[in-house]
Amino acid sequence: MRSPRRCSRNGCPRQAVATLTYVYNESTAVVGPLAAFAEPHTYDLCEPHARNLTAPRGWDVVRHEGEFEPPPPTTDDLVALAEAVREAARPAPPRPPSDDDDHHHQAPQPHQQGRRGHLRVIPPNH
């Protein structure tokens, strides 16, 4: 799954909820809802930075009225999540006997660590 877009401000770890666009020929900074795609000449901002943005002297700020909300998950995100859940739900393939099994004569453990695709099953602590 893709990670959420982060605020463009240096050192800010928060999730972006708004997009800042400069309209140079009108000396205006526009802060609106988060754009669907990150564009090279726009800046993603978290809510505090979007609310507190100031423009250079002589510039105007046009700000979105209302709440800034994180974007809903995209179809790609939902498909990736569904595939991960389906993969995790598949039963583990039977383990072929190995030479080590003959020497140790241990009973099979009810919770074994294994891998399923890119997910790893970790047994609970006993």
Distance between CA atoms of residues 95 and 22, nearest Å: 60
pLDDT grade, residue 4 (50/70/90)? Answer: confident
- pTM value surpassing 0.75: no
Q: What is the pLDDT of residues 96-116, one digit of tens each?
A: 666 555 555 555 555 555 544
Q: What is the pLDDT of residues 23-78, one digit of tens each?
A: 999 999 999 999 888 888 899 999 999 999 998 899 999 988 777 766 665 555 55
pLDDT grade, residue 119 (50/70/90)? Answer: low
Q: Mean pLDDT, to the nearest integer, of 70-98?
A: 62
The per-residue DSSP string of 57-94 comes to TT-EEEE--S---PPPPPHHHHHHHHHHHHHHHSPPPP
**DSSP annotation of 27:** T
Instruction: Say if CB 39 and CB 10 are below 8 A apart.
Output: no
Distance between CA atoms of residues 61 and 55, nearest Å: 6
